[in-house]
Chains A and B, each alone.
Chain A
Amino acid sequence: MWRGWLVTILICPSLLAQKLDATLFESKIRPVLAGKCYGCHSSKLKAPMGGLVLDTKAGLSAGGSGGKVIVAGQPDQSRLLTALRFTDPHLQMPPTGKLPDAVIDDFASWIASGAVDPRTAAPSSETSAALKGMSIEAGRQWWAFQPIREVAPPRIRDTAWSRNKIDPFVLAQLEAKRFTPSSPADKRTLARRAYIDLVGYKPTYQEVEVFAADASPDAWEKLIDRLLASPQYGERWARHWMDVARYGEDNPTSEATNPAYPFAWRYRDWIIEALNQDVPYDRFVKLQLAADQMPGSRREDLRALGYLGAALFHKDQRLSADVINGFLHDDWDERVDAVSRGLLAMTVACARCHDHKFDPIPTKDYYALAGVFASTMRAEQPLFDVDAATEARYLAVQRRLIDLRYSVGLLTGEASTVLDSETRVARWRAEIEQLKAEMLALQERYPKLVASLERYWTMPAPRPPAGAAPQPRRRPELTSTEPFLNAVFDAAQYVETADPHYTFINYKPGEARDLAVLRSGNVAAPGEIVPRQFLTVLSKGDSRFLKGSGRLELADKIFTDDRSLAARVIVNRVWDWHFGRPLAATPSDFGVQGDKPTHPELLDDLATRFVAHGWSLKWLHREIMTSAAYRQSSKPRPDLVKADPTNMLFWRMPPRRMDIESYRDTLLRSSGRLNDAMYGPSEDVEAPTNVRRTIYGRISRSRLSPLLKNYDFPDPLQSSGGRDLTTTSLQQLFVLNSAFIRESATAASQAVASLTADRSRVEELYRRLLSRDPSPKELDMALSFLAGATLEQLAQVLLSTNEVILWP
């Protein structure tokens, strides 16, 4: 080989240059074109964007409707490069955002060296491969699917900075850029940071001072352990998980067919308890997918099934079988999306209509997974023990009664809706009576079960004749304390097509259903039926699901075949929730379209040790928070703000706005208004009387609280990979003018009113609202403000400051 090169050099230097440039094209240019450009600029498209084709040599050299895009040897005259550089506001590519500078530099040097394009004939199979996505074999090499492993810490120059194994990984990258980490934050800042982070509100003055006064070498560790052991830890961290689990308590429409989930709050309470008990993460997830099928699970664990049992659905029996079939597929799709993005950071739902365009996920895999949810039915399940056979029958009867009652009501209420309605109604009424008789036989053993069904066999009164006073409509319950929960059980769902004028969904308890692959996602074009199974690219050996719906097998596979990915995903999220920036920037997408981790070895190492420590989230918090990286000051350093504005390398702790939960809870607590009772049914966040922690506020998918919306609460209709924290004037109107802030100010000022001197009132207000003493200058400012304003107004001033909402 060496000889060959040598000969080439001797014979034809320019040929060598060409060869090197060809290598450059193949290694640096072509993959980017394929990954970022072919989607819109391919010869295979009917109408490539701007008439520009990049997957052929001819296309690239011809340019698009705006002329040539490359001038060989002249990077600055090549519009391709202008577009990549984002300097011209009207010519920026790719539309999804600027590529890394290194990539753009590659293009520049490739053009400068002559823009050698070694491609020959028609677009190769590589083009269509790029459009079709990765093969399973190639996918198995993808970074996110590689086994995690412990990694030896990298060599670093400053050996004194590190406090645990996280730090060398962070420091090595800082040193590579000749950055230094920020100095440690002072103890009072650390106390604030830790309280917000672990229990979701700022500490009181006393809490800050106790920590500041603790001179013992393990004061920080003790604080972390104490906060992790407090029940408020669960209230804080449950909410993070609820973002991922798209927790909600109703459906986006309030129609009779899509009622609210009155027991969803029990799922929220379960999450809080489970986190407080440090249930290992693998078990925590498995319970949410399959608590009903897991050996050793208890009745109260069924609350975890709210993950699936309170997920949104849409149903309307008046419509044709095709339309309803479409709704059902949408419901199953929602589960596939929540599970795959939430637990695996894979965008499986992209493969509903075609093979995934980027990731190794064939459409068959999508339907194989969707079959699990087509075999899973939501129901209101008893929270008390019932023998298995009775319970199975009860759940099936409950579902059937709901549909029958709705149908009878519909056809008696709107006489003309369906032809020949009397016969149907009579038949349905007979079935209701039959089921009622069957269930009444349980009266003695399970009176609560029977009572729960009464509402379904009690028929609505017929509609009053026109002109009569309208009957008040009974609103369905939003929340209930009856001993039931919103859960799921195994039942295959089918659309009943026998009656062309009226459509039922058939639930077949205990059965599973394999789905047909739908061509282009069209329910009217079913193809091959695929067995339920795990994602091919992640599977080791036989991946078919054979037990019931396959929910338990799915949950198991996630933590056996796929444990490396599952561990990476949660470790990345937890890092994000601590640092305000994840290691891999797209926490719900580890695919080709996502971002690769900035510190891959750290992610691998931390994930490996997390698994070795029994998937303990509390271990993970402690490990992250005891690092030197976490303890850095959040103060800006102008040179580094400029060099690394998004803090990619963690040269400081990023200062952040608090999320709405910690903000509202802090305001309630510091003004002395907080009712810290734990658990129970949700209450309206907007209600003036509601002074409970925000996690106990009702999360409605149809009417999300304006306050929550105003502060970037994520849409509870889909799994959230992270909140976009904005700063808006509407938020400041809340601060300046809302009754909530005013009442907090009133409460705080009343609490200090008994002090006689203005000076001590100011000091006490500072201690309560900002957990510190005022500086002499601040004291002066406050006293002169008080000369023309009330104590309450001063309290509102303090509550409105940046300092209050900052997570330092």
Chain B
Amino acid sequence: MAVRPLLKRRDLIQSAFGALGTLGLSAALGSGNAAQAAALGHYAGQRTSGKAKRVISLFLQGGPSQVDLFDPKPLLVKFQGQRPGSVDLRTERQTGGLMPSPFQFAKHGRGGVDVSEMLPKLAGVIDEICVIRSIYSFNPTHTPSVNLYHTGTILPNRPSIGSWVSYGLGSENQNLPSFIALSSGGSATRSGFLPAAHQGTPVNHTEVDPEKMIPNLRNKELDPAAQRKQLDAIQALNKEFGASFGADDYLDGRIQSMEAAYRMQFEAMDVFDIRKESAATRALYGETPFGNGCLLARRLVEKGVRYVNVGSGDWDDHKDIETAYRKKLPAMDQAAAALIADLKQRGMLDDTIVIWGGEFGRTPVSESGTGRDHNPYGFTMWVAGGGFKGGLAYGATDDFGFKAVENRVSIHDFHATVLHALGIEHMQLTYRYAGRDFRLTDVFGNAVKDILA
């Protein structure tokens, strides 16, 4: 269980929750200089023209339906119940004939982008949104597809995009993790072979009390003054020990990270507490679990967290999709739209990327008569802010919304594009492991520059 010597000394004392580099030792003593903390980014490649600094990823686990939300297909009505040869694609389960969307669509914004009637709030900010209707992947089951969505491979052990971005760009706030995952685990948070400091810190945002969100955040016995006294005693002994042992990076680093932890208790109690927002702001987001997650994500990126993943419930509607959507779309619509509007109003949308999507879409053919099966062949994701073109619908699926056919964008292309928007050339963000230089995009991917402003 040895320290991997390939790592530089500074990596060893770098932290997830409060980063300390070699420079950090002095930095932590004093200013908490953000520039120094940001210097912990490992990306040494060419800088692209992208200017985005941070990402909020809204992940709708289970797979939202493109033909009911952003990709209208009038021909579904004409061919309702039929099963032309072109839709005879194998998915996870057996499917039947074509099933039209129960929802109406209309064009919105300057660009006239189609949006379902179920998403009025998103329709209102559609000029900030770039809808990509031609995403495709290749596996029809959840776990491998979720892995692919987050890590670029269907394998369960690779680092997620959040870890890559954290690794590449480092942290902007010493007292907070650079990558936080709200109510999402598994491959969404995995750092795989990247240093563990870049794993997503899981936070349970179904709670609103920070103490319940983060384990060990607060001392149950001591008030801050008593705890400070205790910490002073610890540090006094540490200094005694250090004086007899000699100057050592590890010992110094731990002293500093104790201080950072002490400060973090208070900073996190503040940052993670959405109850400190005004009633109006909370109402804007909707005070639903997803709304609270979006609001918390905004608070976090505002404080320098690099990547926030917000997981959203169950979008795996194998049956009764209309009933389910009438129930759950309003909360999602309100929260996602509020996030965009709020970031914009705070002047943060230009350098914050908001991603919306699921591990696949859903079939235009029915399952069980009222539901839709998984569809990796063609589906919709959207991106807002961070240099992406708003009011644009990019790419297209076939006549029925099953397969991406025009300007196809793979998950690897999508990842490459997000990295590009963050100033990273995806081929040059690599990590040496097991004999080769791994990348998020494996051996694939092209940044889609057409959708970047």
Contacts and interface: CB of A to CB of B under 8 A. Distances in A.
Contacts of B15: 726-730
B157 A729 contact: no
B143 A49 contact: no
Contacts of A341: 434-435
B257 A731 contact: yes
A722 interface: yes
B215 A416 contact: no
B436 interface: yes
A657 B2 contact: no
Interface stretch (A225-233, A535-543, A585-593, A752-760): A585-593
Given A416-B96, A641-B247, A727-B250, 17 more contacts: A89-B39, A347-B435, A418-B94, A582-B2, A589-B435, A646-B9, A655-B245, A657-B254, A703-B185, A712-B196, A729-B264, A737-B217, A785-B233, A793-B222, A797-B234, A801-B241, A802-B255
A495 B314 CA distance: 32
Given A733-B265, A788-B229, A797-B233, A414 B93 contact: yes
Interface string A534-565: 00000000000000000000000000000000
Contacts of B20: 727
Contacts of A595: 5-6
Nearest to A240: B1
B52 interface: no
A318 interface: yes
Interface of B: 1-7, 9, 11-18, 20, 39, 44-47, 90, 92-94, 96, 139-141, 143-144, 154-157, 175, 177, 185-186, 190, 192-193, 195-197, 199, 201-202, 214-222, 226-227, 229-231, 233-234, 236-238, 240-242, 245-248, 250-251, 253-255, 257-258, 260-262, 264-265, 367-368, 427-428, 430, 432, 434-437, 443
Contacts of A589: 434-435
A671 interface: no
**Secondary structure type dominating chain A contacts:** loop
Given A656-B250, A726-B16, A337 B434 contact: yes
Contacts of B253: 727
A341 to B, nearest CB: 6
A435 to B, nearest CB: 27
Q: Which 5 A-B pairs have CB atoms at the shortest separation, nearest pair first? A: A347-B435, A729-B18, A732-B261, A717-B157, A728-B15
A117 interface: no
Contact of A89 (B17, B44, B157, B222): B44
A729 B43 CA distance: 24
A349 B436 CA distance: 10
Interface in A21-42: 39-40
11 contacts: A330-B155, A594-B435, A636-B245, A709-B199, A712-B196, A718-B193, A723-B1, A726-B15, A730-B16, A742-B220, A803-B237
Contacts of A785: 233
Contacts, number: 280
A255 interface: yes
A800 B2 contact: no
Nearest to B368: A416
A738 interface: yes
Interface stretch (A118-126, A572-580, A602-610): A572-580
Contact of B216 (A319, A736, A788): A736
Contacts of A585: 4-6
Given A636-B248, A727-B20, A802 B2 contact: no
A733 B250 CA distance: 17
Given A736-B258, A802-B254, A350 B17 contact: no
A724 B11 contact: yes
Nearest to A788: B229
Nearest to A354: B443
Contacts of B367: 416
A239 B186 CA distance: 24
A318 B2 contact: no
Contacts of A359: 435
A593 B44 contact: no
A518 to B, nearest CB: 15
A175 interface: no
A417 B234 contact: no
Contact of B197 (A95, A319, A641, A728): A728
Interface of A: 39-40, 49-50, 89-90, 92, 95-97, 239-240, 243, 252-253, 255, 312, 314, 316, 318-320, 323, 326-327, 330, 337, 341, 346-347, 349-350, 353, 356-359, 414, 416-419, 501, 576-577, 579-582, 585-586, 588-589, 591, 593-595, 635-638, 641, 645-646, 648, 654-657, 659, 661, 701-703, 706, 709, 712, 715, 717-718, 721-738, 742, 775, 777-778, 781, 785, 788-789, 793-794, 796-798, 800-803, 805-806
A87 B375 CA distance: 49
Nearest to A598: B5
A83 to B, nearest CB: 10
A656 B230 CA distance: 25
Contacts of A703: 185
A173 to B, nearest CB: 16
Contacts of B202: 706
A323 B229 contact: no
Nearest to B18: A729
B246 A636 contact: yes
B227 to A, nearest CB: 7
A794 B227 CA distance: 12
B156 A796 contact: no
A284 B309 CA distance: 44
A727 B230 contact: no
Nearest to A706: B215
A330 B233 CA distance: 53
B44 A733 contact: no
A725 B2 CA distance: 8
Contact of B231 (A580, A709, A722, A736): A736
A347 B434 contact: yes
Given A418-B94, A726-B15, A729-B17, A252 B186 contact: yes
A788 B154 CA distance: 57
A115 B290 CA distance: 61
Contacts of B260: 729, 732
A796 B1 contact: no
Contacts of B246: 635-637
A802 B242 contact: yes
A728 B18 contact: yes
Given A95-B44, A96-B430, A656-B250, A727 B257 contact: yes
Given A252-B156, A357-B436, A725 B90 contact: no
B258 A732 contact: yes
Contacts of B217: 733, 737
Contacts of B17: 728-730, 733
A237 B368 CA distance: 55
A576 B14 contact: no
B217 to A, nearest CB: 7
A417 B215 contact: no
Contacts of A797: 230, 233-234, 237
A778 B237 CA distance: 8
A738 B140 CA distance: 42
Nearest to A800: B234
A715 B141 contact: no
Given A706-B215, A793-B230, A318 B257 contact: no
Contacts of B7: 724
A748 to B, nearest CB: 15
Given A717-B156, A722-B3, A805 B254 contact: yes
Contacts of B9: 645-646
Contacts of B218: 737
A314 B245 contact: no
B5 A581 contact: yes
A801 B192 contact: no
B145 to A, nearest CB: 11
B13 A727 contact: yes
Contacts of A778: 237, 240
Contacts of B177: 730
